[in-house]
Amino acid sequence: MIIESLYEESVWHRSPMSNGTIRMSMVEGCPRQQAYVIMNYEADYEESGRSQIAADDGNLHEADVVNRLLQAGYRCWNYGEDQAMVYLEKDGVRFRGHPDLFMELSDGEVVGVELKGYRDEIFKAFCVGAYSPERGLYIVTNYDRLTKRPFPLMGQIQMYLHSDTAVEYGIERWVLLMKNKNTADLAEFTVEKDTEYLDRLIRKWKGFWGYTEAGRLPDRFFGDDSSECRRCVFREKCWGLPEIPKDGKEIIDVPELSTAASLRRSGVVLKKEGEDMIEESRMQFLSEHIRLEVDKIQSDKMYSTVSDRSRKGLSSPVVNKVLASMLEKNHISFEEYEECFSETNYQEVRFRDRKVG
């Protein structure tokens, strides 16, 4: 088919980080995933050309927004071939990135600009609660949306805001301009500096290069049931865990997990930082389940239970086969329908704790 050849000509290439620097566009991602790339691990499967085509499509929409800014009379620079590198170094960690644009407003203020083109449902999710001065335009003030997964943008923007070039230009605000690729609606976010958010990202990546230079993988940052892990090309390699026997044995006390228990409780109280803390605790408990080969653990009156779970999802290669069969035969068999689903096994950790907060 013609479209298959288009995918073949659009192979997705990952660009690994190098030279001891962390890419600003990847700071919200998983350090372990990047370590797999840098250390030349073979991916569980190859990404199709769809990823590259989607990225190229987004670039076309971003270019359209830049052209319209220029037509509106704004002075813009640092786009396309003119794009320069910016740097940030703090606490021994060095970051680099390519901001999309710098722009001078009508009052002479210079701001940084980040451009994004998203399909309709993602665009609308970012615009929940936004003010609409007229049809098709949205002013977003709920910046929590920028920290939500699966498309968190706050980290990248904060890196740009604190970069050397931003300091040189005296930039205090970064503007995110987003275009709906389905409807051409536009959304605007104005983001200011958040040093606490920046510091959390720096702590996340501290020691990354030390791990990789020693040939070691950093700790996992997300749980095996997260959206990040589900779509990661190193998932099977990363989560190839042995089966935990369900013999009913219970360890009465594991003092070594008291720190993990404390982390989980702090995460419940501190909502903003809770997701990271809770996940770190869960991983420590899960590792102890695996090490001791038990399905139940208690530490400091906190109980955790590991249960096997499974989910079904569409298997793209089989779906393509079935769709082709439908086109050719104008029907689909029950067996073909069953083949459309792949089963993923994972381990669930449940907690029962004393009341906190």
User: Tokens 């049809």 correspond to what residue?
Assistant: 135
Domain ranges across the chain: 2-26+50-205, 241-352
Whole-number percent of the chain with pLDDT over 90: 33
Query: Is pLDDT at 134 greater than 50 in this prediction?
Result: yes
**pLDDT value of position 153:** 93
Contact 356, 268 (CB under 8 A): yes
Query: Is pLDDT at 124 greater than 50 in this prediction?
Result: yes
CATH 3.90.320 fits 2-26+50-205, yes or no: yes
User: At a CB cut-off of 8 Å and minimum separation 6, what does 167 contact?
Assistant: none
Q: What is the pLDDT of residues 8-62, one digit of tens each?
A: 655 555 566 777 899 999 999 999 999 998 888 888 877 666 666 776 777 788 8
Q: What is the pLDDT of residues 208-264, one digit of tens each?
A: 999 888 888 888 888 777 778 888 889 888 887 544 555 555 666 778 888 888 887
**pLDDT value of position 188:** 95
Treating both helix axes as pointing N-terminal to C-terminal, what angle do 271-292 and 258-269 enclose, rounded to 10 degrees?
150
Gap between the Cα atoms of 26 and 86, Å rounded: 14
User: Tokens 């670039």 correspond to what residue?
Assistant: 59
Structure tokens at 192: 């200011």
Instruction: Label residue 311 by pLDDT band (50, 70, 90).
Output: low
**pLDDT value of position 227:** 77
DSSP class of residue 49 equals: T
Q: What is the pLDDT of residues 151-183, one digit of tens each?
A: 889 999 999 999 999 999 999 999 999 999 999
pTM of the model: 0.65
Mean pLDDT of 54-75: 84
Q: What is the mean pLDDT of the chain?
A: 81
Can you spell out the DSSP letters for 64-113?
Answer: HHHHHHHHTT-EEES-GGG---EEEEETTEEEEE--SEEEE-TTS-EEEE
Sheet holding 86-90: strands in order across?
Answer: 21-23, 93-97, 86-90
**pLDDT value of position 24:** 94
